[in-house]
Amino acid sequence: MIEFQQISKKWPDGTLALADVNVRIPKGQFCVILGPSGAGKSTLLRTVNGLTQTTNGQISIEGVTLTPASAKTLRRRVAMIHQHFNLTLRMSVAANVLAGLLPVVSTGRAILGWFEPAHRAKACALLARVGLDSKHLLRRAGELSGGQQQRVGVARAFMLDPEVVLADEPVASLDPKISREILSLIRDAARERNATVLCSLHQVDLAREFGDRIVGMRDGKIVFDGTPEEFTDERVEALYHGAQWEDQPAVETEDLYNDALQPQLVAA
């Protein structure tokens, strides 16, 4: 369970990224956050594990309030899946997955790369679970395709059996088929562990398909909160309208062609 209470975030330049956000996401829910670019989706996700400090308000995860002191232990219970996969590309797939265990492995063991057999077995099992063949195990992560890299990212996120999974536009750079596969993986793996998922997306169809609940954000505020069924086309229009088109010049193409027939010199 994640609870946002009157969360607001003001960047040093004065922009208000989050304005008084109040949401409660019950345990085990797959909650999708939708909204135009710059609406504050990523910022909201990043406040949960403290990557972004809030200006105001309180976040609690499974009843534990997030403070600088509790952040260290809370972060172990909160996994994150990133838009750009964020793997160490020059490191092997196995090392990238095992890196998900770093908070619970001693520094000495981590530096020597001595992971317990149980840990290595878990890495193998998770890689198999996300559909990555074991022949990739010792390949460099940078040699994998985008979809395969995100599979590694998902495996890494589930290494510590998180209670909360934050997915920050996990499929933004992947094709529709692989996007569905990755989102299914995240949803199913989270269900097996009864983990809460907070996932920001850009694709409305995927949001309707995978979300138990859709939260629409705009200008740092929550403007829609409901089930996929309630998120009708009119609601979609209301969420995105104005934001996408307001900067476009209103020039009719036909006018351009007509002008070409009588070329005018514009004063230099």
| Residues at the contact surface with another protein, assessed by CB under 8 A | 49, 51, 71-76, 78-80, 82, 84-91, 95, 99-100, 102-103, 105, 107, 110-111, 153, 156, 160, 166, 255-257, 259-260, 263-268
The residues, ordered by sequence, that sit 6+ positions from 135 with a Cβ below 8 Å of its Cβ are none
- 241 touches 218 (CB < 8 A): no
Smallest gap, in angstroms, from Cβ of residue 101 to another protein?
9
Whichever of 118 and 268 has its CB closer to another protein, that residue is 268
Smallest gap, in angstroms, from Cβ of residue 238 to another protein?
33
Smallest gap, in angstroms, from Cβ of residue 150 to another protein?
12
Whichever of 102 and 178 has its CB closer to another protein, that residue is 102
| Biggest CA-to-CA distance, the chain | 78
- 35 touches 81 (CB < 8 A): no
Query: Per residue in 102-131, is it b (16+ CB within 10 Å) or e — as a string?
Result: eeebeeeeeeeeebeeebbebbbebbebbe
Q: How far apart are CA 79 and CA 94, in angstroms?
A: 18
Smallest gap, in angstroms, from Cβ of residue 228 to another protein?
28
Tokens of 46: 């990043």
Whichever of 71 and 243 has its CB closer to another protein, that residue is 71
Whichever of 49 and 203 has its CB closer to another protein, that residue is 49
Whichever of 159 and 201 has its CB closer to another protein, that residue is 159
Smallest gap, in angstroms, from Cβ of residue 173 to another protein?
13
Identity of residue 87: L
Q: How far apart are CA 149 and CA 84, in angstroms?
A: 9
Tokens of 93: 């797939």
Tokens of 168: 């920050």
